[in-house]
């Protein structure tokens, strides 16, 4: 999957579910500090991402390293590259 | 802080007791006519059928269930605790084996005798399960750390066992313990297996009166704190929002019970109906809706005469070739679990419970079609049991049968599955906390099914409400007490 396509799907899902302004969704936006998502939101975020891409993550432990939206896009790109997901 | 606990199953009883012990005012609500209907079990023809407990693991000295029952002040009310129940396995392709519950060195010896060369694999399994349990302060009283939930990659049970060079029959025997929490070895993770099945390896047993005695002990203890279960009190609404926090619980009939803390142990699939629209994000409900259910059970309750052997737990399994070894009725050689309860020395009669699983969506809705389906399913299950466990022939009589539809009537808010939400390795688990401050979730859907899972789940929810250190204090003290 292309980077641009990933970004579009993630941004649309985030804007929709968390009522975030599309303009705030930039690569170096910090998910916690800039977008204001807390640890409970992160659980919702995982579900939003899984639903948007129609997969289930094989290994959620890697989520802990995600700080920025850019990290999140790269995380999803890696998942597709390594096929480390379960199809829903 | 005034508290309401919704549901009087094991998670609700535990949460109520832990809150009451803090001196907090607690109301315990139960929709059915009596507290803990499933855990309490029932009597038929003078025989006691232990539907909720059967037998439990972790009852040895320092065992996990024993420690929690001690921490709750319940342990001393239980009498004649037994700890060495064995599981007997009869495979459709011939052989029979025993998986005893014993201290690890004796257990390894017993398995080595039956399955030469299995020692290293069995030892690794016991060690790995112990390591998993050591990571949470709710399962390890010696652990002093704040972080109790960490996402770590966990292998699937089937893959894990496949990598352990175990005899195929032994692998099937170990896999089948996923049935304790309604999971399948392929989808279940080692974390869940370690917590739900792990404690059964070193000790498994029960006490006089089983689930019924456990409920009685909880109610007696609660009465000491002035708390009684309020029965026939079905909850139809939860009043609360992310901004204002938990405000009240609404009962059928309109009564409003104000509270700022609510531990909800009911089925989370009902939350969307109970909360006002917009109280929680749509994705929260989509998360719940996306989680799979365990299979619906089909259960026979029978009277047995002159029990042919003393085995308490008998598994009738397909051939060892079937990696998953949990087959629903309707397939060849379906998986069947038989359990004897209330065997008294010198008594000729005993209670025998047989449990199989049916495929989801199989239960007809139309009353006439349902009655026919139930009759046919009951006959099929009886036939399977007599064919594969022939010593029972002429020595048992089925008194009653229960299906997923029976469960729906029996347990309030039940969807008809055996254990509610199935805990698959790749699913994001539901958390005990919600976006509504003061609204906590507990029960088999949040942590795991079973008495231990229910107690820990109740404790975890209360830990989030009042502080984990408060809740864990007694659990930790008990660790050093014996």
Q: What DSSP line would sit under B435-476, residue for residue? A: SSTTEEE-STTTS-SSHHHHHHHHHHHHHHHH-HHHHHHHHH
Q: Which residues of B touch A (CB under 8 A)?
A: 150-153, 281-284, 286-287, 290, 426-428, 431, 433-435
| Chain A nearest C-alpha distance from B252 (Å) | 31
Backbone φ and ψ for B448, nearest 5 degrees, come out as -155, 155
Is B259 in a helix, a strand, or coil? Answer: coil
Query: CA of B229: how far to CAs of A14, B201, B224, in Å?
Result: 43, 34, 13
Q: What DSSP line would sit under B149-183, residue for residue? A: -------BHHHHHHTT---HHHHHHHHGGGGGGT-
Candidate from A17, A57, A59 with C-beta closest to B283? A17
* Contacts A–B by Cβ distance under 8 A: 40
From first to last of its 482 residues, chain B has per-residue pLDDT tens of 999 999 999 999 999 999 999 999 999 999 999 999 999 999 999 999 999 998 999 999 999 999 999 999 999 999 999 999 999 999 998 899 999 999 999 999 999 999 999 999 999 999 999 999 998 999 998 887 655 555 677 899 999 999 998 999 999 999 999 999 999 999 999 999 999 999 999 999 999 999 999 999 999 999 999 999 999 999 999 999 999 999 999 999 999 999 999 999 999 999 999 999 999 999 999 999 999 999 999 999 999 988 777 778 999 999 876 666 689 999 999 999 999 886 655 677 899 999 999 987 889 989 999 999 999 999 999 999 999 999 999 999 999 999 999 988 888 878 889 999 999 998 999 999 999 999 999 999 999 999 999 999 999 999 999 999 999 998 998 655 54
Is A70 in a helix, a strand, or coil? Answer: helix
Is A44 catalytic? The answer is: no
Say how far apart CA A37 and CA B434 lie, in whole Å.
14
In chain B, residues with a C-beta closer than 8 Å to the C-beta of A10 are none
In the prediction, which pLDDT does B451 show? 97
Candidate from B150, B286, B434 with C-beta closest to A47? B286
Pick the catalytic residue from A38, A41, A71, A78: A38
**A-chain residue closest to B283, CA distance:** A44
Closest CA to B27 of B245, B272, B255: B255
In the prediction, which pLDDT does B343 show? 60
| Chain A nearest C-alpha distance from B38 (Å) | 32
Backbone φ and ψ for B439, nearest 5 degrees, come out as -105, 115
Report the residue of B426, B437, B464 to disrupt the A interface, i.e. the one with the largest count of A CBs within 10 Å.
B426
In chain A, residues with a C-beta closer than 8 Å to the C-beta of B288 are none
In the prediction, which pLDDT does B243 show? 92
> Considering Cα of B243, then B249, then B255, then B259, what sign does the dihedral take?
negative
Candidate from A17, A56, A61 with C-beta closest to B427? A56
CB contact under 8 A, A56 and B434: no
In the prediction, which pLDDT does B152 show? 73
In the prediction, which pLDDT does B153 show? 78
| Chain B nearest C-alpha distance from A61 (Å) | 5
| Chain B nearest C-alpha distance from A49 (Å) | 11
- Per-residue pLDDT of A2-36, as tens digits, reads 888 999 999 999 999 898 999 999 999 999 999 99
CB contact under 8 A, B282 and A17: yes
CATH of domain A3-87: 1.10.1200.10
H/E run at residue A75: helix A69-82
Say how far apart CA A40 and CA B368 lie, in whole Å.
47
Paired strand residues for B237: B250
In chain A, residues with a C-beta closer than 8 Å to the C-beta of B435 are 40
Contact partners, residue B226, CB within 8 Å, separation at least 6: B20
Assigned token pair, B199 = 């404690």
Q: Where are the domains of chain A?
A: 3-87
> Considering Cα of B430, then B436, then B441, then B445, what sign does the dihedral take?
negative
Assembly ipTM: 0.89
Is B246 in a helix, a strand, or coil? Answer: strand
Pinpoint the alpha helices (H) of B72-153: 104-114, 119-133
**B-chain residue closest to A60, CA distance:** B151
Report the residue of A36, A56, A82 to disrupt the B interface, i.e. the one with the largest count of B CBs within 10 Å.
A56
């Amino acid at each position: 999957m292309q980077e641009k396509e990933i970004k579009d799907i993630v941004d649309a899902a985030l804007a929709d579910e968390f009522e975030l302004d599309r303009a705030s969704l930039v690569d170096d936006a910090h998910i916690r500090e800039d977008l204001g998502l807390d640890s409970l939101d992160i659980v919702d975020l995982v579900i939003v991402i899984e639903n948007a891409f129609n997969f289930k993550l094989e290994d959620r432990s890697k989520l802990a390293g995600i700080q920025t939206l850019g990290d999140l896009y790269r995380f999803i790109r890696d998942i597709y590259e390594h096929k480390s997901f379960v199809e829903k | 802080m005034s508290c309401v606990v919704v549901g009087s199953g094991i998670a609700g009883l535990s949460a109520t007791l832990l809150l009451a012990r803090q001196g907090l005012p607690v109301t315990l609500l139960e929709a059915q006519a009596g507290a803990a209907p499933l855990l309490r079990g029932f009597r038929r023809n003078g025989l006691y059928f232990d539907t909720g407990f059967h037998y439990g693991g972790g009852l040895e000295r320092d065992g996990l269930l024993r420690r929690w029952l001690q921490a709750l002040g319940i342990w001393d009310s239980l009498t004649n605790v037994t700890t060495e129940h064995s599981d007997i396995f009869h495979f459709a392709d011939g052989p029979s084996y025993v998986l005893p519950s014993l201290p690890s060195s004796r257990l390894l010896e017993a398995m080595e005798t039956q399955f030469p060369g299995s020692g290293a694999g069995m030892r690794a399994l016991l060690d790995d399960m112990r390591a998993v349990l050591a990571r949470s302060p709710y399962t390890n009283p010696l652990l002093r750390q704040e972080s109790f939930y960490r996402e770590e990659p966990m292998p699937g049970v089937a893959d894990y066992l496949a990598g352990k060079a175990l005899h195929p029959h032994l692998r099937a025997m170990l896999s089948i313990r996923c049935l304790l929490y309604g999971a399948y070895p392929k989808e279940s993770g080692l974390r869940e297996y370690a917590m739900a099945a792990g404690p059964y390896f070193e000790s498994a047993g029960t006490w006089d009166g089983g689930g019924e005695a456990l409920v009685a002990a909880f109610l007696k203890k609660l009465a000491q704190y002035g708390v009684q279960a309020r029965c026939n009190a079905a909850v139809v609404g939860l009043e609360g929002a992310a901004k204002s926090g938990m405000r009240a619980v609404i009962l059928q009939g309109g009564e409003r019970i104000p509270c700022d803390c609510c531990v909800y142990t009911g089925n989370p699939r009902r939350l969307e109906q109970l909360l006002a629209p917009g109280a929680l994000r749509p994705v929260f409900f989509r998360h719940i809706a996306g989680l799979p259910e365990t299979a619906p059970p089909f259960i026979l309750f029978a009277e047995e005469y002159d029990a042919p052997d003393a085995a308490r737990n008998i598994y009738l399994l397909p051939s060892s070739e079937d990696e998953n070894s949990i087959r629903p009725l309707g397939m060849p050689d379906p998986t069947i679990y038989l359990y004897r309860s209330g065997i008294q020395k010198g008594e000729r009669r005993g209670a025998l419970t047989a449990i199989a699983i049916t495929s989801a969506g199989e239960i007809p809705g139309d009353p006439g079609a349902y009655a026919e389906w139930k009759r046919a399913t009951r006959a099929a299950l009886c036939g399977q049991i007599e064919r594969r466990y022939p010593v029972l022939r002429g020595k048992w009589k089925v008194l009653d049968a229960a299906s997923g539809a029976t469960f729906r009537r029996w347990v309030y808010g039940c969807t008809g599955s055996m254990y509610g939400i199935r805990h698959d390795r790749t699913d994001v688990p539901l958390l005990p906390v919600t976006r509504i401050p003061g609204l906590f979730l507990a029960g088999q859907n949040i942590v795991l099914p079973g008495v231990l899972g229910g107690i820990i789940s109740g404790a975890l929810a209360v830990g989030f409400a009042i502080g984990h250190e408060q809740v864990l204090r007694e659990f930790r003290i008990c660790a050093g007490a014996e």
